[in-house]
Amino acid sequence: MTLTAEQKRQAVQKQYNASLELCPARQLLEAISSKWVTLVMLALEEGQLRHSDLRRMIPGASQKMLTSTLRSLERDGLVSRHVTVSVPVRTDYELTARGRSLLRIVFEMKDWAEQNMDGVAASRLEHDTNRYLHV
Amino acid sequence: MTLTAEQKRQAVQKQYNASLELCPARQLLEAISSKWVTLVMLALEEGQLRHSDLRRMIPGASQKMLTSTLRSLERDGLVSRHVTVSVPVRTDYELTARGRSLLRIVFEMKDWAEQNMDGVAASRLEHDTNRYLHV
DNA sequence: CTGTATCCTCTAAGATACTG
DNA sequence: CAGTATCTTAGAGGATACAG
C-alpha cells in the first residue's frame, strides 16, 4: 500500500520528534521550564532549606507541585535531599555543584529578561494594537 | 465568615501566582520553553527563511505549531516577518537584534546541556535504579 | 504557498483527603 | 512535618479540512 504525501510527512514528524526527545539541550530546557524549577533553585541559592521553608518562600506552589519539582531536581542531580529520621521527620534540600552551575544560566536569563522586558512589552502592545485595528 | 487555614493559604497562592505572571524573567522562560521556539530561532541563525524552508528544517512541527510559534516570536519582537504580495504569497522570517541577543543565551544553555548530559543521565539512572530496588 | 478554523485527545497541575 | 493517592479540569498541541 502506498502512502499519501501527508502520511509520509507525519511519519517523518514522529521520527523527528522521537529523536528530539533524546537531545540533551531539549531535555534541559524541558527540565527547567517546568513552572517551579527556577523558583526552587533561586530559593536554594543561599543554602540548605527544609520542605516547609520552601513552601513558605514559594507560596504559589501546591504541596504536590513542590514535592514533584524537588523529586525531579533530585533525579537530575541538581538538588540533594537529606532526611533526618526523627518524629516528626525532617528533610533538607540543597543545591549540588551541578545545580549551582545551572543556576548561573538561570541568572543570565533573568538578566536578559530584565534588560529586555520594556522592549518586549512595547512590541507586544504594538502587535496587539495593530491586530485590533484590523479586526 | 472566617476562613480555614487551607483557604487562606490558597488565597495567598492565587495572589502569588498572579504576581508571578508579571515577572519578566518568568515570561521569558515561558516564551522560550514552548516546544518549538528554540528550534526556530536556531534555524534562523544563518539568515532569513521562508515558511516552507522552516517546515523542511524542522519536520517535527505541525503547520499549526510552526505558525503559532512564529506569531509569538513576532509579537515579542524576536523575529520579523516580511510578506511579498504575489501569487502565490511569499513570507520571509528573520531574527531581529533582540532575537539574536536571546539566541546567545540559548547557545549557553545548549553548551551547559552538552557538558552535563552524561552526569545527568548517570544521576537519573542511579535514581531510577534505586527506586526500583525498593519497590 | 501561507495561513485559518475546527475538532479532539492527552497531559500538567490544582483540590482534597489521607498516612507514617 | 513530609509525603502519597485520587479525582478533576484547563489548556497545549495534533489531525484534518478549507481559504486567499
pLDDT at B133: 64
Tell me which of A55-64, B22-31, B51-60, B92-101 is least confident: B22-31
Mean of the per-residue pLDDT values for chain A?
89
| Nearest residue in B to A14, CA atom | B60
A79-84 and B49-50 as β-strands: parallel, antiparallel, unpaired? Answer: unpaired
Q: How far is CA B42 from CA A22, A35, B7, in A?
A: 17, 24, 45
What pTM was estimated for this model as a whole? 0.89
Please determine, for residue B2, whether its predicted confidence score (pLDDT) is greater than 80. no
Res A31: pLDDT: 81
Query: Mean of the pLDDT values across residues A44-64?
Result: 94
A85 CA vs D2 C1’ separation (Å): 11
- Nearest by CB to B75, from A9, A74, A127: name it: A127
In this prediction, residue B134 has a pLDDT band, given cuts at 50, 70 and 90, of low
CA-to-C1' span, A73 to D6 (A): 24
Span A66-111, pLDDT tens digits? 999 999 999 999 999 999 999 999 999 999 999 999 999 999 988 9
Q: How many CB pairs under 8 A join A and B?
A: 121
Residue B132, chain A, CB below 8 Å: the answer is no
Cell digits of residue B23:
515577572
Phi, psi (5° rounding) for residue B87? -125, 115
What is the structure's pLDDT at B35? 80
Which stretches of chain B are DSSP H helices?
Answer: 5-22, 24-33, 37-43, 51-57, 63-75, 97-134
Q: What is the mean pLDDT of residues B102-119?
A: 92
User: Does residue B8 approach strand C to less than 7 Å at its CB?
Assistant: no
Partner-chain contact A24 B60, CB within 8 Å: no
Question: A28 touching B, CB under 8 A?
Answer: yes
pLDDT at A131: 67
Distance in Å, residue A34 CA to nucleotide C12 C1': 10
Question: Which of residues 96-125 of A have CB within 7 Å of strand C?
Answer: none
* Neighbour count for residue A106 (Cβ, 10 Å): 20
Domains identified in chain A and CATH numbers: 1-32 (no CATH), 36-133 (1.10.10.10)
Distance from CA of B100 to the nearest CA of A (A): 12
B81 touches chain A (CB under 8 A): no
> Out of A6-10, A108-112, A130-134, B101-105, which region has the weakest mean confidence (pLDDT)?
A130-134
Closest nucleotide C1' to the C-alpha of B14: C14
- Confidence at B32, pLDDT banded by 50, 70, 90: confident
Is there contact between B88 and strand D, defined as CB under 7 Å from any strand atom? yes
Query: Which residues make Cβ contacts (< 8 Å) with residue A26, sequence separation at least 6?
Result: A20
